[in-house]
Amino acid sequence: CDFVANVSHELRTPLTVIGGYLETLLDSDSSAFDPWRQPLHRVQEQSRRMLHIVEDLLLLVRLESRKERPPFKPVNAPALLAAIVDDAIALSDEQAHPISVIADPDLWIAGSEKELHSAFANLVFNAVRYTPAGRRIEIRWFADDSGIHLMVEDEGEGIAPHHIPRLTERFYRINRDRSRDSGGTGLGLSIVKHVLNHHGGQLRISSQLGVGSLFTCDFPLDLRLERAAVSARNVTGLR
């Protein structure tokens, strides 16, 4: 709705400015700042979180609006996933989850790069955030007769069956504190669902408590592009 969009938009600038000042303060190596460093880091963390919520809200409002969206373009999904995995490794940090990616290097997709980035990153980062240190996370990107698929599988805490149908609701969280502590906004899966709808796809979730979860994005085959075909078309476009 317009109201949420306007509020989010208005909040973004001051939050960005606050973040900028905090960064400058924290960059200073004057020892006078030492007693303040720790609390300032906390403030920075919280202001980043607010900015993250605002950005997720803006994206969600945009996804829900019926306005014309830019046409789909070829998206280099394997490269997109590689970049997301780099960020996931940074997020996992000392928890050192082994993250494996098996991606068809020639499988591109027609879509919105920004939206797909957001959807895929949400699923991969959730896997990191809800999986205990050291347990495996596996990402697969492939096509078969039924469509194009992204699978994100973890050996995490799992989800009880009664929660599963509600996970894509806005702000639905199984454990609010847990989600907050790990930097969640409660909007991630609802963004994923909207992005998939926009691409004519769907999200499937299967999980077992204490064993792990599998999130699958299915896209229709007509969005499939081959890397070779995309390059050939670019060459033709240059002539």
Stretch near ligand ADP under the rule CB under 6 A, chosen from 14-22, 87-95, 123-131, 194-202: 123-131
| Residue numbers 195-234 binding ligand ADP by CB under 6 A | 213
Nearest to 148 by CA among 103, 100, 86: 103
Among 82, 96, 160, 174, binds ligand ADP (CB under 6 A): 174
Among 126, 148, 155, 199, binds ligand ADP (CB under 6 A): 126
According to the binding rule CB under 6 A, does residue 154 interact with ligand ADP? yes
Nearer to ligand ADP, 107 or 152 (CB): 152
Backbone angles phi, psi at 132, to 5 degrees: -60, 155
Nearer to ligand ADP, 183 or 200 (CB): 183
Structure tokens, 37: 């460093």
Q: Which long-range contacts (CB under 8 A, 24 or more apart) does 169-177 make?
A: 170/60
According to the binding rule CB under 6 A, does residue 173 interact with ligand ADP? yes
Q: What beta strand segments (E) does 106-197 contain? A: 107-111, 137-144, 147-154
According to the binding rule CB under 6 A, does residue 127 interact with ligand ADP? yes
- CB count within 10 Å of CB 128 equals 21
According to the binding rule CB under 6 A, does residue 53 interact with ligand ADP? no
Nearer to ligand ADP, 12 or 163 (CB): 163
According to the binding rule CB under 6 A, does residue 157 interact with ligand ADP? yes
Nearer to ligand ADP, 54 or 223 (CB): 54
CB of 172 to ligand ADP, least distance (A): 6
DSSP state of 160: -
CA atoms within 13 A on the CB side of 1: 3
According to the binding rule CB under 6 A, does residue 47 interact with ligand ADP? no
Backbone angles phi, psi at 185, to 5 degrees: -110, -10
Contact call for residues 225 and 108 (beta carbons, < 8 A): yes
145's CB contacts (< 8 A; 6+ apart) are none
> Could you list the residues that contact ligand ADP (CB under 6 A)?
122, 126-127, 130, 154, 156-157, 159, 167, 172-175, 179, 184-190, 213
